[in-house]
Amino acid sequence: MEGGKKAEEAAGPSCAGTNQEMPHHPNEEEDEETEDEKEEDEHDFETDHHQNTTFQPGPLLPLKDQIERDKEDESLRRWKEKLLGCLESDFDGQVDPEVKFHSIGIVSEDFGEVVTPLPLNENQNARVLFTLREGSHYQLKLKFSVLHNIVSGLKYSNTVWKGGIQVDQSKGMLGTFAPQKEPYEHALKEEVTPSGVLARGVYSAKLKFEDDDRRCHMELKYSFEIKKSI
């Protein structure tokens, strides 16, 4: 009997023990598929998030309709009239806003302010509109009116060339404006003219104004000159 027990112990664990399940280890192909699925999910999330957060202007309504909305609320109605200007002449049902530019001014430490009425005539387009010294600070100043409706996100770009080569471009936001009786005045951000022998001479420029709906309200071509500082 003792010999039989020893033989069984030498034989090792029974066959039932060999049927235990081995732990599952994913292979490299499964890992790659999992990573690809994660990347696709992240890409889809980023795309959906971008689409949901991209600003899209709502449909424009005539100015009169905007004021008459919620007209039963007296305080809200007065607030809208104050905000929108409440010009009876603008209650014409026209939906698209119009920005009418009256003048362009140049404000400089060299000579103060010089104002030129708009639109420019053909002779003014051909000649230099203003002259600045090298290294001087200056600002462009616009006077304009808003008609018919609110203009949203009015912005500008000012591109400058010398000898047919673009040398500078500045952009900025003016803001949102409602029709009102008095014209608006807005100064663009301050600029500094370049210095040096190569900086002197005549430049051509194009000043463009657009709103959030990509309406172009003005595209002004003009020339200016930079001279040697005394």
55-71 pLDDT, tens digit per residue, is: 555 566 555 565 566 66
| Helix residue ranges per DSSP H, 22-129 | 28-53, 63-68, 74-84, 122-126
Q: Is the pLDDT of residue 40 over 70?
A: no
Question: Which residues, in sequence order, are bridge partners of residue 187?
Answer: 141
pTM of the entire predicted model: 0.64
pLDDT at 91 over 80: no
pLDDT tens digits, one per residue of 179-216: 888 999 999 999 999 999 999 999 999 999 999 999 99
pLDDT on residue 12? 47
Pinpoint the residues of the chain covered by CATH 2.70.50.30.
95-225
Residue 104 gets the label, from left (phi > 0), alpha (psi -120 to 50) or beta, of beta
Measured distance CA(17)–CA(19) in Å, rounded: 5
* For residues 169-173, average pLDDT: 95
Tokens 């959906």, located at residue: 48
pLDDT at residue 135 is higher than 70: yes
User: Checking DSSP bridges between strand 112-117 and strand 151-162, what pairing results, if any?
Assistant: unpaired
Confidence of residue 24 (pLDDT cuts 50, 70, 90): low
Angle, CA of 141, 142 and 144, to the nearest 5°: 160
Name 137's bridge partners: 192
For 95-225, which CATH class?
Answer: mainly beta
- Can you tell me the distance from the alpha carbon of 109 to that of 216, in angstroms, rounded to the nearest whole number? 31
Measured CA to CA, the distance from residue 225 to residue 112 in angstroms comes to 16
